[in-house]
Structure 1
Amino acid sequence: MPLTSSLSIAADATLTSSLDLTTASAPLSVRSATSWATGTGAGKADKVFSDRRQLAASATEDLDLAGVLLDAFGQAITFARIKGLIIRADAANTNNVILGNATSNAWAALLGATGTLTLRPGASLGLNTGPADATGYAVTAGTGDILKVANSGGGTTVTYDIVLIGASA
């Protein structure tokens, strides 16, 4: 199945200061956007996974990036490389969403084998590789393909959205 995909990350800010006769302004605009055509090399991707997921209080789940996740048509996805990622914790969460530190076969390309990242309620993480990057973030089936996601505490569930864009080779 052909896939065309893109991912954008943007920041806009304007710092102002009132002076005697004018207002000084320092505008900032930073954008990082990548589009991928169908394929597996530089500037290409051929797999996408997206889902809204819930974790019970204090629960964890291991997302197997090589052969277990299903695409929108119910087909198993085997990522060899991740080129784009968005994870968003629902703003209505009480607890945090924790990424990383799988007990075995950790997908270490992003956070290392034991690193974690905390997404507070409403927080988002966006990552995209450049258009010339053929490598992306490697996924190694059977030894480096588990992205652990955890609910940081008891009492309430957490909801999070995830989008993975990558290549099968």
Structure 2
Amino acid sequence: MTVKATVTARMDIVQRGGNDFGTDKFSPVVEAVLNTANGTGANQADIVFVDEREVSESSNDDLDLAGALSDAFGATVAAAEVVAILIINAPRTGTANASDLTIGGATNAFEGFLGGTSPTIGPIKPGGFVMIGAGDAAGIGTVTGGSADELRIANGSGGAATYQVAILARSA
């Protein structure tokens, strides 16, 4: 199997109004693009995990990045470094969730892109998303099997939540 990916974060904005120079339109585009080839070095990845998952109300879904997940072809996901993560608090189709999600806080937490002691990101409101990526040699963080390999998705109150997750990683 080979992996090639383009990760894009983009805001295309139009703001209208008057100013001292008479221009009534401001149209900034802020964009970051990460292109990866197959491999385990800088700007490369060889592991993909994409899934739509459900986490019960007031419960956690701990994604073990070092040996417990399977990719779309049945291969075991055994990440050494994570290159990019996208988490969307919504199912692909159907009704929106009613509860917030929080990322982080697992017992054997993968905290590569998080800082401090037991850090988390959230709340991610229904319909909201979080994306982070870095193509350099270290990616967004190192995975250590058995001690720093769990990405926790925690659900607050309001009912079960269906979310989408996409992880791009390296095996070495």
Question: So what's the TM-score if we normalise by structure 2?
Answer: 0.89
Q: Which has the higher strand share?
A: 1
Identity fraction in percent? 35
Q: Name the CA distance, whole Å, in 2 between partners of 1:32 and 1:93.
A: 28
Identify the match of residue 141 of structure 1 among 141, 145, 149: 145
Count of residue pairs the alignment pairs up: 165
Q: Name the CA distance, whole Å, in 2 between partners of 1:21 and 1:100.
A: 47
1:125 matched residue in structure 2: 130
* 1:95 is the counterpart of 2:99: yes
Identify the match of residue 167 of structure 1 among 150, 166, 170: 170
* 1:51 is the counterpart of 2:55: no
Inter-CA distance 14–76: structure 2 relative to 1 (3 Å threshold) = same
* 1:29 is the counterpart of 2:17: no
Code of the aligned partner of 2:11: A
Q: Name the CA distance, whole Å, in 2 between partners of 1:54 and 1:156.
A: 11
Secondary structure in structure 2 of the residue aligned to 1:31: strand
Q: Name the CA distance, whole Å, in 2 between partners of 1:60 and 1:20.
A: 52
Shift of 1:57: 1.4
Secondary structure in structure 1 of the residue aligned to 2:73: coil
* 1:10 is the counterpart of 2:17: no
Code of the aligned partner of 1:123: G
2:60 matched residue in structure 1: 60
Code of the aligned partner of 1:14: V
Q: Deviations over 1:36-63 (max 9, x none)?
A: 1110001110000000001111111211
Shift of 1:22: 5.2
Shift of 1:117: 1.3
Inter-CA distance 24–58: structure 2 relative to 1 (3 Å threshold) = same
Equivalent residues of 1:33, 1:128 under 8 A apart: no
2:119 matched residue in structure 1: 115
Inter-CA distance 23–63: structure 2 relative to 1 (3 Å threshold) = same
Identify the match of residue 108 of structure 2 among 102, 105, 109: 105
Q: CA RMSD in A?
A: 1.8
Unaligned residue ranges in structure 2 (runs of 5+)? none
